[in-house]
């Protein structure tokens, strides 16, 4: 649902920026929904992997993650995590564009609940604190490890902390390229990038946080939206049976 701002509330000189605001709000909603779809894909992979393990066990065999089917599932999971990183980064860019439009439209900005808008933006930042680095890493698969020089440039001396455990540090360097981690239905992607380890999470928690951030930002604009209708909160993330 693309919001329509009430043009009677602000001068004609702000119409172009108001149009930009409407597009930004619509894009925030679509990015949040597609982020949920990325999680749904990762969740589907989890369910299929569990099914294959049960079938292998029933047949007295071991599940082979390197079989053709196992490799396909691994690729799908990486696709989901890559897309999620790109979408979360895009969400961040849309927020910056939204701020730019409001800064150029003082009357429109005066009508917006800026406290509520900041709350939504803060919720996003707190949920995805390293999304810029994670998106850069995920958008260049294989590139950072293509030469010894690039590996050295992106390796880290820091101790790395992940949901799979802590490692590294101790005076040496660690290089990680596209690490996928999962704990049940909580998935994360991590890579070393310019001397740091960057990661982000794709999970029900982050889907719901993005949903609520969008809800808060839309609510902030409710005084100027015609026939206002909240499209959020909704987090259509799959539930494990």
Domain that holds residue 70: 14-224
190-233 tens-digit pLDDT: 999 888 999 999 999 999 999 999 999 999 999 998 765 555 54
Q: How far are the Cα atoms of 162, 163, 192 from residue 175, in angstroms, in the given order?
A: 14, 17, 6
Q: Does residue 239 form part of some domain?
A: no
Q: Does residue 49 form part of some domain?
A: yes
CB burial of residue 138 (10 Å; 0-12, 13-18, 19+): buried
Q: Does residue 86 form part of some domain?
A: yes
The average pLDDT across 118-125 equals: 98
51-70 tens-digit pLDDT: 888 888 888 877 777 688 88
Dihedral sign, Cα of residue 17, residue 23, residue 25, residue 31: negative
Q: Does residue 229 form part of some domain?
A: no
- The domain tally of the chain equals 1
65-115 tens-digit pLDDT: 768 888 888 899 999 999 999 999 999 999 999 999 999 999 999 999 999
With tokens 């696709």, the residue in question is 79
Distance CA 135, CA 86 (A): 6
Q: Does residue 67 form part of some domain?
A: yes
Q: Does residue 70 form part of some domain?
A: yes
The average pLDDT across 34-53 equals: 92
């Amino acid at each position: 649902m693309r919001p329509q701002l009430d043009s009677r509330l602000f001068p004609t000189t702000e119409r172009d920026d108001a149009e930009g605001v409407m597009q930004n709000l619509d894009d925030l909603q679509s990015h949040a929904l597609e982020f949920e779809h990325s999680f749904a894909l990762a969740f589907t992979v989890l369910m299929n992997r569990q099914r294959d393990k049960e079938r292998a066990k029933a047949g007295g065999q071991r599940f082979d993650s390197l079989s053709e089917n196992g490799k396909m599932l691994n690729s799908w999971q990486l696709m989901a995590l890559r897309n999620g990183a790109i979408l979360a980064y895009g969400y961040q860019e849309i927020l910056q564009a939204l701020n730019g439009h409001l800064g150029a439209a003082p009357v429109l900005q005066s009508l917006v609940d800026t406290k509520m808008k900041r709350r939504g933006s803060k919720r996003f930042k707190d949920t995805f604190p390293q999304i810029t680095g994670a998106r850069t890493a995920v958008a260049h698969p294989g590139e950072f490890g293509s030469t010894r020089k690039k590996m050295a440039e992106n390796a880290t001396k820091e101790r790395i902390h992940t949901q799979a455990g802590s490692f590294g540090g101790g005076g040496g360097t660690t290089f990680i390229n596209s690490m996928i981690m999962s704990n049940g239905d909580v998935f994360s992607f991590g890579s070393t990038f310019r001397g740091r380890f960057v990661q982000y999470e794709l999970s029900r928690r982050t889907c719901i946080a993005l949903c609520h951030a969008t809800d808060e930002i839309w609510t902030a604009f409710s005084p100027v939206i015609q026939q206002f209708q909240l499209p959020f909160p909704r987090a259509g993330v799959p539930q494990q049976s």
